[in-house]
Structure formats: C-alpha cells, structure tokens
Amino acid sequence: MPFSPLRPAGLLSVLLLAAGPAAAQMALSPERSSPEKTVPLSKGEIQLSFAPVVKRAAPSVVNVYATHVEKRSARSSAMDEFMRRFFGEDRPGGGRAPGGAPGERAQRSLGSGVIVDGSGLVITNNHVIAEMNEVKVSLADKREFEAQIVLRDPRTDLAVLKIKTPNDIAPMPIGDSDHLEVGDVVLAIGNPFGVGQTVTQGIVSALARTQVGSSDYQFFIQTDAAINPGNSGGALVDLQGRLVGVNTAIYSQSGGSHGIGFAIPASMIRAVVDAAKGGGSLVRRPWLGARVQSVTNDIAESVGLDRPTGVLVASMQAKSPAEEAGLKRGDVILSIDGQNVDDPEAFGYRFALKGISGTTQFGILRGTRRQTIPVKLGPAPETRPRDALKIRTRTPFAGATLVNTSPAVGEELQADLPEEGVAVSAVEDGSLANRAGFKKGDVIVAVNGIPVASTKDLDRLTQRSFGLWEVSINRGGEVLTSVFGG
C-alpha cells in the first residue's frame, strides 16, 4: 500500500479563456453572468490572509520528540561503542543515548502534537510515540517540557500526552468534524521533516475515506493541504481556528506530499481526550456482540434497497447487547442515531463514539419493513476469569503472558478472539517467546495436537518435557503451525 503514516477562503479569481469573440460575448452577457464583481474598496479587502487564524491556532501546535532508551549487555555495548567510533555517531540504527551510559542505546522519533486542554493534555499520533519511553514537547515559543504518556490507543492511532508543570499554554478548541463538507478550506500545521513549524492551506477533498489502513477505525478526512513526514500528530484546522482533525497519513509513492493527506476526525479525537481526562489509560468502547458485513449489490436488490448501503448482521453472540435488543441475522443496519452508515467501517466508527452508558437507536431494515430499535450501550464483558499465566519454564512460550479469552480481553488486545481460548497478552523483548515469533493477540489453538481451551491447559502442557513442540496459533483468522526444539 502506498499509504504512509506521517511522521476563510482567500480571494479566488477565475480566468475564463474564451474560444473567440462570440464565446467572450456570451460569457459576459448580463443574463448569463456570475454574481456581480466589484473592485476592492479598501486595502484590507486586497490583503485577505489566513494570518489571523494561524496566530490563533499555531501556539497550540507542538513538536513531539520521543526516545526509546534500551539497556544493553556489556558485550553488546562494547560492540556498539566500536561501531559508533568506526562508523560515526550518526550511523543507521541510532547510537548511545544523549548523556547516557555506554550500556544504553536510543531510538528516536519526531512528530507533531496539539495542546487540547489547559491541564497540559496533548493529542498526537500513537505511531509517533509507539515503543518510546521518554517524550519531550517543544512549544512554538521554543519552550520545552517533559511529557508523560497517559494513554495509547493503537486502534485509532492516537495517543495523549501530559506536559509536566505546564505554564501559560494555549489549548486549541476541538471542533465538530461532522459539519465539515467537501470544499471547506482547512489549514495543516505541523513540523514536516523537522524543519520547524509550518502552515499549509487546502480544502477538504473527501470525507469518510476508509481504505487508508493506519488504524482500525477507517473514517478519515482527506485534504489536499500539503502534509509531509513530521506532520504526524499535527493539527488540521478550520477557519475558526478549531481542531477538526489530526494529520496521520499521506498517499505517496515518494515519501513526500502528493496532495492527498488523511486526518483523524475531531469526533474520534474528542472521545480519546475525554477518556484521558477521566483518568483512563485506555479508551473503553461499547460492545455490540455481533458481526456485520458489507451490503453487496445482490443483497441490496434482494431486500429492496436502491443501492448498497448499511451493514448486514451476519451473526450474534448469546446474551450480547445485539441479541437483547432483538437484532436478527439478516437485518440491515442503516443508521445509528439518525446518522447513515454506508459500510462496516462507517458503522464501526459511529458505534465506537457512543460511549459505554445509555442507549443508541439503530435504524434497521428487516425484510421490507424499516424500524428503529434501541440498543443498550455497555463495555465488553469479562465472561470468565483471565487466569493470567506468565510462562517461565524453558519452552517456546517462555517470556509470554497468556490469558483466557473473553470479549473484554478482545477489546483490550484489539483482536477478534474466540469465546473460548487462550490469547497472548504480552511478550517480553528478547525472550524465547519473542524469538519464536509470538505476538500480542495470538490465540494458542493446540500444542502437539492437544487442544488448548484455558491457561490451566497450557500450564499443564508446559510442565511436560517434549523433544519437539508443535504449536498451532490463530492469528487474525489464519491458523499457523510451527515446530520448535525442546
């Protein structure tokens, strides 16, 4: 995929080049003319500018510097020091952390962010600070602050930082992205290529883009305002100086801007920021307990829709909010609280914004009859104890933490998990499990042909001595089998 994560209209003049005198006469005839044009009456009308918006918004946009400092063994440090001296401090792969000991190695990331609350909360992209453990924020006036990572949300590619000891900061108000229209003028503010704060201008060129691939919730604002690496986490601003999106990805074959950039809408930003304000370290979203799929042309024709729209209910879990609301397999969900949903991506986005209390109204088509049904909102339940198991015996699982699956575990791991099974919830760096290739969200299906339904099953198996370990896992719906030495 050529998608890359990112690291008031002005006076518009239209020149009509007529084919000849007749065309010119037709274009200028009173009955066919555009609204009357007038000569500017003041210097101010000539000097239309976005400067007032930029002055209002720019102080809220910050640079984000993130570092991952890795402790290394004495032997690795000695080799690292030799390589640093031989190849120079800037060799690929990083080097010694600034001011750090020889046993430390640093990886760095650069991006942008936006101050969204007077308490010092900053929104940025998760991919800017992913795997990082030290973050600094630089304001437009050159002041620098250490920042704490208070929330990571890989599903939206958003993260919230908190500036330590904030003083005299300017938060940007969060706008309403649902009121954006194609053609609206927007400004992109960020730190492209690390050159310093930069402002570009363009229009909203599309809405509800879903084939971007930088997050689980595909519902992006597309803009032709120039966005480049380093703009990641920066602000997409309307002409009132409000945050309407966080710039997150570009469509590019060269790594530079080709005039197609994507921003996460303000509605999702608000949900993530509210979770951080509430003291949460993760965003809790409502659980429906149903699988939905796209409505094809054939399906639309069979249920009497004039075009493919909505989502088809394919299956439901027992005792889920979907079942309790009376949804049935084959229903077509057309809207949520009156807002149309055209596809599974739009449905997932709209439903995720509804919170975990109260009810929401689904507009559905059942057979040929349209109706509205209330659906109770609530978090995914923990239907059985996790019974977390940390494997320490010398097996392919050593260094992995495993838990019993449930809807709640699936939400936290951002994975579609079976109702009964064992999932990998964490893997230590450099462990046997890490070297074996286990990943967070993997589901252990069987070991040496023996099915694994709970962590107790796996605990018993890892106490045994096998010459070889044949392990089958389910990763994203695909079952993979590998053999490891005993």
Round the average pLDDT of the chain to a whole number and report it: 81
What's the pLDDT band for 485 if we cut at 50, 70, 90? confident
CA–CA distance, 99 with 96 (Å, rounded to integer): 8
In the numeric block, which tokens belong to residue 384?
A: 């059985």
What pLDDT is attached to residue 35? Answer: 58
What pLDDT is attached to residue 261? Answer: 85
Q: Is 157 annotated as a binding residue?
A: yes
In the numeric block, which tokens belong to residue 437?
A: 């290739």
What pLDDT is attached to residue 401? Answer: 95
What average pLDDT does the segment 197-218 reach?
74
What pLDDT is attached to residue 70? Answer: 58
The β-bridge partners of 342 are none
Contact, 234 vs 114, CB < 8 A? yes
Report pTM: 0.72
Across 19-23, 104-108, 364-368, least confident range: 19-23
SS3 content of the chain, % helix, strand, coil (to 5): 20, 35, 45
Architecture, CATH, for domain 290-376: Roll (2.30)
What average pLDDT does the segment 240-261 reach?
76
- Of the candidates 148, 53, 67, 66, the one whose C-alpha atom is nearest the C-alpha of residue 100 is 67
Q: Is 127 annotated as a binding residue?
A: yes
Q: Is pLDDT at 95 greater than 50 in this prediction?
A: no
pLDDT digits (tens, 9 = 90+) for 270-284: 999 999 998 877 888
What average pLDDT does the segment 382-398 reach?
91
Beta-sheet strands, E only, within 183-273? 185-190, 198-209, 220-223, 235-237, 243-251, 261-265
Contact, 122 vs 128, CB < 8 A? no
Q: Is 194 annotated as a binding residue?
A: no
Do 184-278 and 389-485 fold alike per CATH? no
Q: Is pLDDT at 454 greater than 50 in this prediction?
A: yes
N-term to C-term CA, the chain? 39
> For the domain 389-485, what is the CATH superfamily, name and number?
PDZ domain (2.30.42.10)
3-state secondary structure at position 344? helix
What's the pLDDT band for 21 if we cut at 50, 70, 90? very low
Q: At what angle do helices 266-277 and 344-352 cross, to 10 degrees?
A: 30
Burial letters 368-386, b for 16+ CB under 10 A, else e: eeeeebebebbebeeeeeb
What average pLDDT does the segment 198-207 reach?
88
Q: Is pLDDT at 30 greater than 60 in this prediction?
A: no
pLDDT digits (tens, 9 = 90+) for 294-340: 999 999 988 888 899 999 999 888 889 999 999 999 999 999 999 99
CA–CA distance, 334 with 350 (Å, rounded to integer): 12
Q: Is 230 annotated as a binding residue?
A: yes
In this structure, what are the phi and psi dihedrals at residue 101, rounded to the nearest 5 degrees?
-80, 160
Q: Bigger pLDDT: 82 or 114?
A: 114
Can you give the residue ranges of every domain in the chain?
184-278, 290-376, 389-485
Q: Is pLDDT at 165 greater than 60 in this prediction?
A: yes
Beta-sheet strands, E only, within 116-211? 121-125, 134-138, 144-153, 158-163, 185-190, 198-209
CA–CA distance, 151 with 113 (Å, rounded to integer): 14
Q: Which positions are annotated as active-site residues?
A: 127, 157, 232
Q: Is pLDDT at 1 greater than 60 in this prediction?
A: no
What pLDDT is attached to residue 180? Answer: 87
What pLDDT is attached to residue 18? Answer: 29
Fold category of 184-278 in CATH: Thrombin, subunit H (2.40.10)
CA–CA distance, 267 with 272 (Å, rounded to integer): 9
- Of the candidates 8, 5, 13, the one whose C-alpha atom is nearest the C-alpha of residue 39 is 13
